[in-house]
Structure 1
Amino acid sequence: MQLQQLAYFVAVAEIRHFTQAAESLGIAQPSLSKQIRTLESELGAALFSRARGNITLTPAGEALLPLAKRILADVDTARVEVQELAGLVRGRVRLGATPSLCAGLLADALRRFHDAYPGIRLIVEEGGSRDLVRDLTRGHLDLALVILPLADDTPLVTTPILRENLVVAMPADHRPRRSPMTIEDLQGRDLVMFRSGYDLREATITACRTAGFEPRFAVEGGEMDAVLRFVEAGLGLAVVPSMVLAGRPGLRGIALTASDPLPFPVRRDLPPPPGLQRTIAIAHRKDVSLTHAAKAFHTTLETYLTEAAADGALPTGVHHLRGGSAG
């Protein structure tokens, strides 16, 4: 089995057309077909069904596809790792982050890293936490800032770094029935909901169902910017991290609290009440060593957060979990 054959297989699997796949790879279609046949012969199973000109994956092809993608991603990472031996003069960091972080404090951390290592390419993938976990697991990212907890079988190492408050976003001219609000206060209210793949979607739905009611959606399916704009337009309320409201004068955030206020301060070593806060961790795969560039970014991010927490420069409602304090 050759890496080239796996690359050809992935191209056909994604495009579902031999001629178009050959064109995208810059090779002749007969050469592509020959390599695929050789791969199928070595594996002892057909990878594609070619009935009536429709190209579909066989069960063997379905099983091979995620493995082939992961192998090719790891080979690409290995190539970059060797290049970095020149001393971080060149290389790359593929970082995934949630939209709230991309719009908030991440930019300053990226600037600090770029100033220290100008030859390292920074590739940022913005998405919901579930999407980022999937891409990280498949080898498409080196690091990702994800929301805890993760599934028990997720093959990732996670380091909690931040805890941020969740608030109810509403138009700035809207007067809440009370402040702070509880999850129960959302019952019967129109909500703006994120698309699937956002942890905030599942967290909000779960919190509502735990409180004994089914949430009512006025509109659903948006990314962070779209959700905030829909709230500004008065379509409904949304549960969002407090940091995303910075620089949005058209919105206000109302704190969420437990149904029955606790008679004592919440201890830092205990988990927060469900639905009120969320924990952000920096994650990477267990089975792959971080590249030199990824390690350098990890260190840069930790240093930046520690200093920002000490200076009181973290956004309101954001807490550093590595010895920092609330921003």
Structure 2
Amino acid sequence: MNMQLHQLKYFVAVAETRHFTQAADVVGITQPSLSKQIHALEDTLGAPLFERIRGNIGLTGAGETLLPLAKRILADVETATREVQELVGLRRGQVRLGATPSLATSLAPPVLRRFRDAHPAVDLRVEEGGSQDLVRHLLRGDLDLALVIMPARGADPGLRAEKILTESLVVASVDPVPSASAGGDLRITDLRDQPLVMFREGYDLRDATLAACREAGFEPTLSVNGGEMDAVLSFVEAGLGIAVVPGMVVDRRPGIRVTRLAPPGVRRTIAVARRRDVVPTHAGRELRRILLDHVHTATASDQLPPGVEPCPS
């Protein structure tokens, strides 16, 4: 059998785009060359990998079987190449971290500072996005680690996720929000008639807020829909509505009033995640170690932000 790595790369590109021309653009070759290599791979395997269904490209049974194996092979080759290059000094090494906007501005900076001080030659790359987007990037192999929010249903089976912190969400507003509770904390039902500034699709905060409102028996009124973290906070400061956000993102926003949610409130679990089937590089393992040590130190010295608690070991 004479299967080539570049053929597997082309196969994965077609499988993900479901389009030969788009796949050729992704891998940087002409469409006829890509088609030729796919046919050669099919000849080697003795089975067709793609079929046309009503004008669309679909995977055959053989293609469905090969796809996860091909992704794993390509990921292992990339990891092996990076590991060896780090060891023999052919390049400086690299680590790619993903983080949600709130964690990128709160938890990540001191961790990245420690990592940079200890390993100044490593190429450190950070990608900011919603948890759902970061999970997709992890599964594609575009990130080594990501700080994500654990969904209620649990992590994607393709990931290994370690729970590290839990955090209470708060209500951000410019003016006081009328409360029905004696202690001044807001109940979810107090948000029924309030205009909400809502995050875009892909943010766990959007899902958590909508789920809490629906569990309380109402659909929220959306004032602005589809913002990123900085935009949502700016819209709140402009008086366009209120928003349910992590407490740690409003510490340095003096124009925003923070009100706690009455028990049980809305909590979320922060996790550090990586692909289950890929061995992490030296740089990735070191970044994870520094992250966990930072959380342990902050917990022991009582320096975690209000409303943030460590997860049991």
TM-score range, shorter chain: 0.7 to 0.9
Whether the 8 Å CA contact 1:10–1:69 is kept in 2: the answer is yes
Whether the 8 Å CA contact 1:89–1:119 is kept in 2: the answer is no
Q: CA deviation at 1:199?
A: 1.4
In structure 2, the residue corresponding to 1:122 is in which secondary structure? strand
Deviations 1:3-42 (A, max 9, x none): 1112234455649464x76576555654333212212333
Q: CA deviation at 1:83?
A: 2.4
Q: Equivalents in 1 of 2:113, 2:196: separation in Å?
A: 36
**Equivalent position of 2:134 in the other structure:** 132
Which stretch has the larger CA shift, 106-115 or 30-39? Answer: 30-39
Change (3 A) 1:67 1:193: farther
Q: CA deviation at 1:166?
A: 0.5
Q: Equivalents in 1 of 2:197, 2:234: separation in Å?
A: 10
The aligned runs of 1:23-102 (5 Å cut-off) are 25=27, 27=29, 30-41=32-43, 42=45, 44-45=47-48, 47=50, 49=52, 56-60=56-60, 63=64, 68-86=70-88, 90-102=92-104
Would you say 1:213 and 2:218 are equivalent positions? yes
Q: Equivalents in 1 of 2:272, 2:154: separation in Å?
A: 15
- TM-score, normalised to structure 2, is 0.83
Change (3 A) 1:50 1:36: farther
The aligned runs of 1:1-327 (5 Å cut-off) are 1-11=3-13, 14=17, 16=19, 18=21, 25=27, 27=29, 30-41=32-43, 42=45, 44-45=47-48, 47=50, 49=52, 56-60=56-60, 63=64, 68-86=70-88, 90-148=92-150, 149-151=152-154, 154-171=157-174, 174-178=175-179, 179-258=184-263, 273=264, 275-321=265-311
Which stretch has the larger CA shift, 290-299 or 126-135? Answer: 126-135
Q: State how many pairs are aligned.
A: 302
Q: Equivalents in 1 of 2:144, 2:230: separation in Å?
A: 25
In structure 1, the residue corresponding to 2:304 is in which secondary structure? coil
Q: Equivalents in 2 of 1:197, 1:25: separation in Å?
A: 27
Q: CA deviation at 1:90?
A: 2.9
Change (3 A) 1:79 1:88: closer
Q: Equivalents in 1 of 2:83, 2:166: separation in Å?
A: 32
Change (3 A) 1:44 1:213: same
Change (3 A) 1:229 1:65: farther
Q: CA deviation at 1:243?
A: 0.6
Q: CA deviation at 1:218?
A: 1.7
Q: Equivalents in 2 of 1:181, 1:314: separation in Å?
A: 23
Whether the 8 Å CA contact 1:88–1:293 is kept in 2: the answer is no
Extract unaligned runs of 5+ from structure 1: 259-272
Change (3 A) 1:313 1:71: same
Q: CA deviation at 1:222?
A: 1.7
Q: Equivalents in 1 of 2:155, 2:111: separation in Å?
A: 30
Whether the 8 Å CA contact 1:88–1:119 is kept in 2: the answer is no
What's the RMSD between the two structures over aligned residues? 3.0
Q: Equivalents in 2 of 1:99, 1:231: separation in Å?
A: 17
Extract unaligned runs of 5+ from structure 2: none
- TM-score, normalised to structure 1, is 0.80
Whether the 8 Å CA contact 2:197–2:241 is kept in 1: the answer is yes
Q: CA deviation at 1:296?
A: 0.8
In structure 1, the residue corresponding to 2:171 is in which secondary structure? strand
Whether the 8 Å CA contact 2:223–2:241 is kept in 1: the answer is yes
